[in-house]
């Protein structure tokens, strides 16, 4: 399923730094090694590097602080979305670092990540959590109000097959939204099944991993796949 050597090296580095939380950048690297599609993300430590990354990824881009100590980038005002020029990227780099320090002065800031901006995609949430009675559990739901307020989510004990993943998706009340009800287009349900299946195998392959949160995953139109936009991995 994955390049276990590279993943284990990343987890070892985090442990040696006496951390339990992987940064978004580290988390995405781990997921990428597991063949889970993640949006291309570049870690930068200067305005020049940020501009070069934005040029390579092509505008518009998103920029966020990279820190295991700042999990809510919005609250910290350490995220900028839809940047379209070198001037905006330079200003965003400076603002993000200043705001991150102001929000939490002792935070371990690893840099700033630059990633491609993907507009107009349906957001879903896929997680591995720990149930007190049953252990590793896979969680799926549509993002936003569906998860936060309606608690429209489905569960399975890990690991799950692609068939089980498909049943998880069908169980939620918002399933018609995935099929394009209303004004939307059908999304690539098969790609979501594949991500659920792969992430569900993590607890068996890596006992050191406690929880995984893919929030959001952008479900693209049917036939175009799905991609992890933000990720967080926590170790035991």
pTM for the model stands at 0.92
pLDDT averaged over every residue in the chain: 94
Of 72-76, 116-120, 171-175, 220-224, least confident by mean pLDDT is 116-120
Q: Hey, CA dihedral for 73, 48, 46, 58, is it positive or negative? A: positive
Can you list the alpha helix ranges (DSSP code H) found in the chain?
4-16, 24-33, 47-57, 86-103, 145-148, 162-171, 175-178, 189-200, 202-205
In this prediction, residue 150 carries a pLDDT of 72
In this prediction, residue 118 carries a pLDDT of 87
**Would you place residue 184 in the very low, low, confident or very high pLDDT band (cuts 50, 70, 90)?**
confident
In this prediction, residue 5 carries a pLDDT of 81
Reply yes or no on whether the pLDDT at 3 is more than 90: no
Q: Which of 212, 177, 169 minimizes the C-alpha distance to 194?
A: 169
In this prediction, residue 2 carries a pLDDT of 55
Of 2-6, 117-121, 163-167, 228-232, least confident by mean pLDDT is 2-6
pLDDT one-digit tens code per residue, 37-81: 999 999 999 999 999 999 999 999 999 999 999 989 999 999 999
**Would you place residue 31 in the very low, low, confident or very high pLDDT band (cuts 50, 70, 90)?**
very high
In this prediction, residue 120 carries a pLDDT of 77
Task: Please report, for the chain, the start and end positions of each structural domain, with discontinuous segments joined by +.
Answer: 4-116, 122-235
Q: Which of 146, 161, 147, 224 minimizes the C-alpha distance to 187?
A: 224
Mean pLDDT of 16-45: 96
**What is the CATH number assigned to the segment(s) 122-235?**
3.30.470.20
- Architecture field, domain 4-116: 2-Layer Sandwich (3.30)
Mean pLDDT of 120-148: 89
Cis peptide before 229 (omega within 30 of 0): no
């Amino acid at each position: 399923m994955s390049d276990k050597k590279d993943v284990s090296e990343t987890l070892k580095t985090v442990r040696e730094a006496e951390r339990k939380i992987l940064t978004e950048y580290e988390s995405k690297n781990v997921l990428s090694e597991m063949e889970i599609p993640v949006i291309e993300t570049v870690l930068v430590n200067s305005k020049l590097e940020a501009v070069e990354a934005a040029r390579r990824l092509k505008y518009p881009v998103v920029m966020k602080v990279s820190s295991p100590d700042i999990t809510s980038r919005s609250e910290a005002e350490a995220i900028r979305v839809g940047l379209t020029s070198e001037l905006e990227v330079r200003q965003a780099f400076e603002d993000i670092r200043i705001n991150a320090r102001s929000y939490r002065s002792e935070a371990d800031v690893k840099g700033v990540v630059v990633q491609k901006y993907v507009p107009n995609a349906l957001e879903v949430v896929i997680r591995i959590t720990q149930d007190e009675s049953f252990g590793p559990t896979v969680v799926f739901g549509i993002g936003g109000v569906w998860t936060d307020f309606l608690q429209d989510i489905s569960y399975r004990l890990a690991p799950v097959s692609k068939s089980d993943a498909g049943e998880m998706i069908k169980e939620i009340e918002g399933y018609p939204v995935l099929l394009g009800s209303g004004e939307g287009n059908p999304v690539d349900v098969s790609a979501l099944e594949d991500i659920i299946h792969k992430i569900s195998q993590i607890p068996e392959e890596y006992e050191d991993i406690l929880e995984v949160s893919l929030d959001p995953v952008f479900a693209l139109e049917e036939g175009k796949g799905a991609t992890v936009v933000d990720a967080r991995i926590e170790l035991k």
